[in-house]
Amino acid sequence: MIKRIIGIIILLLTCVTLVAQESANIYRVIYLKAKAGQKGQFLAGMKEHTNKFHSKGVSKVRTHEVVSGDKAGWYVRSSGPFTWAEVDKYEADHNSKAHAAHGAKVFGPYIGDRVGPMYWSRRDDFSYNRNTSSKPSKLTRVSFTHLNPLMDGEYRDLRMQIKEAHEKTNSDDSFTVGQLVHGGKMHTYAQFYSLNSWADMASSGPSNASRMNEVFGQGGWGRLMSKGQKIIYKRNDEMRVYMEEYSTR
């Protein structure tokens, strides 16, 4: 009987693993910076290359300009969501002779610096009321959280408390959480907010502090902050502006 139960548990865990592997929740992200004095050529080359090689299938791309934060003046190119198998397809197309040669000719000469590619996983378990529209928002605020090593489990508990507080107070807020899984400093997360204008930055409704205190009792917010101070060593954010002319998704 015990062996049978163990067999069923193993089968269920295997099924869960396979489903997780097939989830299309991987995003390829790269930051690019134009060479000094060559922004015009950089944008023209990016547009030509995007229209020719990033207009269909897994190669579709979304482009943003970073307008605030440490990388203000840079550009972000993102593709996905993918399964890991689709990442193989993307890389095969990206590294094909025709694709690579065209990029090297019309776009590459004007790139001054780059960071990535890196791969992010969307964490639906941490996200709340996330924007599922296929249409991009005009602005995206990205708040990065950098953890001390081996603190991911504690951060998971913190995130689940934040989500629970929003759920139990019927919050109108909307955010998506992502985790960097390859190609950069590990133990890094980001919270994405879809905005239509800068005016959306103005806070409305109860604060996070009041939500935490309502759901977890007086002092709930303070306890959360104390946990965060032990788990998190750095936070920073940036604003991205969607560039429709240089995007295909």
Residue with tokens 């019309």: 106
Burial of 46-62, coded b for 16+ CB within 10 Å and e otherwise, reads bbebbeebbeeebbebb
Nearest Cα neighbor of 165 from 123, 206, 130 is 206
Q: What is the dihedral of CA 194, 200, 202, 204, to 10 degrees?
A: -80
CA end-to-end span of the chain:
53
How many contiguous H segments (helices) and E segments (strands) does the chain have? 7, 8
Nearest Cα neighbor of 145 from 102, 101, 177, 109 is 177
pTM of the model: 0.85
The pLDDT tens digits of the residues spanning 172-226 come to: 899 999 999 999 999 999 999 999 999 999 877 788 899 889 898 999 899 999 9
> H or E stretch including 40?
helix 39-53
Q: Give 55 or 18, the one with higher predicted confidence.
A: 55
Three-state DSSP state, 157: helix
Q: How far apart are CA 31 and CA 116, in angstroms?
A: 6
Residue with tokens 């693993």: 17
> H or E stretch including 220?
helix 220-231
The structural domains of the chain, ordered by start, are: 24-246 (3.30.70.100)
At residue 12, does pLDDT exceed 60?
A: no
The predicted structure's pLDDT at residue 192: 96
> H or E stretch including 92?
helix 84-94
The pLDDT tens digits of the residues spanning 88-102 come to: 999 999 989 999 999
Q: What is the average pLDDT score of the chain?
A: 89
- pLDDT grade for 107, boundaries at 50, 70 and 90: very high
Q: Give 206 or 244, the one with higher predicted confidence.
A: 244
Q: Give the residue-averaged pLDDT of 56-72.
A: 95
At residue 81, does pLDDT exceed 70?
A: yes
- pLDDT grade for 133, boundaries at 50, 70 and 90: confident
Q: How far apart are CA 113 and CA 92, in angstroms?
A: 23
At residue 19, does pLDDT exceed 80?
A: no
Strands 232-242 and 26-34, by their bridges, are unpaired
Q: How far apart are CA 168 and CA 153, in angstroms?
A: 23
The pLDDT tens digits of the residues spanning 136-165 come to: 999 999 999 999 999 999 999 999 999 999
